[in-house]
Amino acid sequence: MIRDVEGDILLSEAQVIAHGIATHDPFDSGLALALRERFPAMVRDYRHAMHSHEPKTGDVWVWGGVNEDGSVRGIVNLLTQGMQSQAKSARPVKAKLEDVNRALRELARVARDQGFRSIALPRLATGVGALPWADVKPLIAQHLGPLGIPIVIYEVYRKDLKANEQLA
């Protein structure tokens, strides 16, 4: 079941939040920044993982942390775009639809393998990634729809507004 909602994805009750990042993302804008502020260990762990395994577009990197209320929060970082260069000042480049497609296919595999019960996503790869939502949304339906679990797409961000996710 795929459901479009308006609200603040950080208030989601979905088991997992999946979002797009670049391979050497600085986590300095949008949802990535908000997640960095809430889960600084995630960024440290990602940077450590980057040094032992060179990330590639289309990959996913799964991380688990604890919310303020003590509940476990899964974060799946979808590597939807590359970087201008390897320099520290490099910025993410525009996402490619084929990388988003691979990352969503991998997310579906991980969700099946790890038994995810629900996933929340923003409008993937449409911000910094600069892809048209009309091109990305069908890929979410194609890869995540068959999972048979609640998939909540936060189509419109509304700070501090809890969405009606209907996860049960």
Q: Is residue 165 part of a domain?
A: no
Q: How many domains does the chain have?
A: 1
Instruction: Provide the pLDDT for residue 85.
Output: 65
Residues contacting residue 113 through CB under 8 Å, at least 6 positions apart: none
Q: Is residue 49 part of a domain?
A: yes
**Where residue 17 sits, what CATH number does that domain have?**
3.40.220.10
Instruction: Provide the pLDDT for residue 53.
Output: 81
Instruction: Provide the pLDDT for residue 63.
Output: 93
Domain that holds residue 125: 2-157
Instruction: Provide the pLDDT for residue 25.
Output: 76
Instruction: Provide the pLDDT for residue 98.
Output: 95
Instruction: Provide the pLDDT for residue 89.
Output: 66
Q: Give me the amino acid identity at 8.
A: D
Residues contacting residue 63 through CB under 8 Å, at least 6 positions apart: 39, 42, 45, 46, 74, 75, 76, 77
Q: Is residue 131 part of a domain?
A: yes
Each of the 168 residues of the chain gets a pLDDT tens digit; together they read 999 999 999 999 999 999 999 887 788 888 888 888 988 889 899 888 888 888 899 999 999 877 666 666 899 999 998 766 666 666 777 899 999 999 999 999 999 999 999 999 999 999 888 999 999 999 999 999 999 999 999 999 999 999 999 887
Q: Is residue 107 part of a domain?
A: yes
Task: Say how far apart CA 151 and CA 11 lie, in whole Å.
Answer: 15
pTM of the model: 0.90
Q: Is residue 164 part of a domain?
A: no
For residue range 151-168, list pLDDT tens digits in order.
Answer: 999 999 999 999 999 887
Cα distances from 37 to residues 10, 31, 63, 119, 136, in angstroms, run: 11, 10, 15, 21, 27
Instruction: Provide the pLDDT for residue 128.
Output: 83
Instruction: Provide the pLDDT for residue 156.
Output: 93
Q: Is residue 153 part of a domain?
A: yes
Tokens 């419109």, located at residue:
156
Q: Is residue 100 part of a domain?
A: yes
